[in-house]
Amino acid sequence: MGRRKIEMKMVKDSSSRQVTFSKRRTGLFKKGNELATLCGAEVAMVVFSPGGKPFSFGHPSVDSVANRFQNQDLEPNNGNVGGSSKDAKVDKLNRQLIGLIKQLQAEKKRGEMLEKAMKAKGQPKCKAQINELSLHELEKLKGSLEELRGNLKARVSEMEASSSLLLLAKKPTREDDKQVTKKG
């Protein structure tokens, strides 16, 4: 016996209705995924089961499509057809990281050049022993060291933040996990 045409009316039996809902929901989400993949469309679907449980599917995510719909944003994702806003954020963070790495390398080279210049002039790293410095010179040295310490702390914090952002960009978020579980 083959498939037969089902009359379009509400299924009266609650268990049959739940089975029909589950099968149709899977097919609906599959079609949404195909539309997003083949056409580069941004798709969002929210479906409530007969029991009131919500199910959602979104590409790139339900939130981004809903926000775009509410704001009537007419621009696609920065020109990325089928791309997600996460891709744009990752690209931006990668560009920032590359810039910081280049800056760090330039500073290392500059430090090496300064050390070479000091050695060429025959200047020792410390002009005088600490014991031989006056109170005014010691206070000045202390201020310089505190300023250097502050600069180092700021630089370390900046590098840790960049590293954390890159790690976060590579890890799937809880929202991604929810999207995967809600698809099934």
Q: Residue range 45-63: average pLDDT?
A: 90
User: How confident is residue 165, by pLDDT bands cut at 50, 70 and 90?
Assistant: confident
Instruction: Write down the pLDDT at residue 176.
Output: 55
Q: Where in the chain are the domains?
A: 14-83, 85-170
Residue 86: the pLDDT is: 74
Residue 45 and residue 58 in contact, taking contact as beta carbons nearer than 8 Å: yes
Residue 164: pLDDT band with limits 50, 70, 90: confident
How large a percentage of the chain has pLDDT more than 70?
Answer: 80
Residue 162 CB partners (closer than 8 Å, separation 6+): 93, 96, 97, 100
Domain 14-83 sits in CATH at 3.40.1810.10
* Residue 80 predicted with pLDDT over 50: no
Where do the H-state alpha helices sit in the chain? 14-39, 62-71, 85-121, 135-170, 174-183
- Residue with the bigger pLDDT between 61 and 166: it is 61
pLDDT tens string 82-129? 556 777 787 788 888 888 888 888 898 888 888 888 777 765 555 556
Average pLDDT, the chain: 80
Please, which residues bridge with residue 48 across strands?
Answer: 54
The CA-atom distances, in angstroms, between 31 and each of 2, 38, 69, 116, 139 are: 23, 10, 20, 66, 73
